[in-house]
Structures are given as structure tokens and as C-alpha cells.
Amino acid sequence: MWSSYLSDGFDMSVFNCNESVVILVILCLTPILLSSLNTSVLKRICRPVWLSAIAALVCYASLLINVAYAEYQLDNQLKAFDLNNDGIFSEAEITPEQQKAMQRVVSDTGRNFAPITGAWFSLGYFLMLWPVTLIYSWLERQYVRHVYRS
């Protein structure tokens, strides 16, 4: 399946692994930062369900920002072929490289469906994170009770 895209000149250079690493760091660090913020600054007023929901919203927002950035990069690559900056490609401006750049801009359904798939991914992230925050909250309460009893 991917070989046909690669043989047709589909270039995935705009989607490097740096964006994936950023999203993974956000996915891992957001619950930890929210939990420590809740403990230290907010004095535990946020329940685990709200911490999980906020983390899922941050995940969703970071996915959409990442997609918007990729689209911005692709648009800039395409605009580089518009030599007279009129927004229309004349015959002199249409080259095989321009056609490849145009194809990358117009034929990516992943970017178009990112709000929908990102919402489902964030919902799954929330449903996985909520039990984890419940267990962490319960363990934290048990530890505090044990420390104050001793």
C-alpha cells in the first residue's frame, strides 16, 4: 500500500518524527504536570475525572496544532513555486516539483479528518487515563493516611 504512494513521488518529509516525539512527550507529561499542579497549587480541588479531561483536551489541541503546522509547511512549500506571487500558477511556474507539492497539499485526507480522528483518539486517551488517575489518587490518599497515622 505505502509503496504505491512512495513510487508516485509522495514525500513525507514534512511529517518527520519530531512532531511525533512532541506529541508523545505531551501525552506523557501532561497528566504528571496536572497532578502536581493540582496537589501543590490547587490544593486537590480537581477530581481525577477533571484532570483526565483536561489532559485529553490538551492532547486534542496539540494534535490539531500539529496538523495545522504541517499544513502551513506544505502551503509554504507550494507557494515557493509561485514566482510572481499572484496565487495562480502560470504555465511557466508548473513544473514536476510544483505538481508534487500541489499533490501533497490537496490529497491528504488525514489532515482533513484530523479533528474527527483526533477527537476519537483523545476520547480513548481520556478513557485510559481516567482509571490511572483514580488509582493514583487512591494510592496517594492511602500514603498520606499511613504517614499521618505513624
Q: Residue 12 and residue 77: Cα distance in Å, rounded?
A: 13
Alpha carbon dihedral 129, 132, 137, 143, in 10-degree steps, equals: -150
CA angle 93, 99, 105 (to 5 degrees): 115
User: Residue 79: what pLDDT?
Assistant: 79
User: Residue 17: what pLDDT?
Assistant: 63
* Contact assessment for residue 67 and residue 39, using Cβ atoms and an 8 Å cutoff: no
User: Residue 18: what pLDDT?
Assistant: 67
**Going residue by residue through the chain (150 aa), what tens digit of pLDDT does each one get?**
333 334 444 444 444 566 677 777 777 788 888 877 777 776 667 788 888 888 889 889 988 888 888 888 888 888 787 777 777 677 777 778 888 888 887 877 778 888 999 899 999 989 998 888 888 888 888 887 788 876
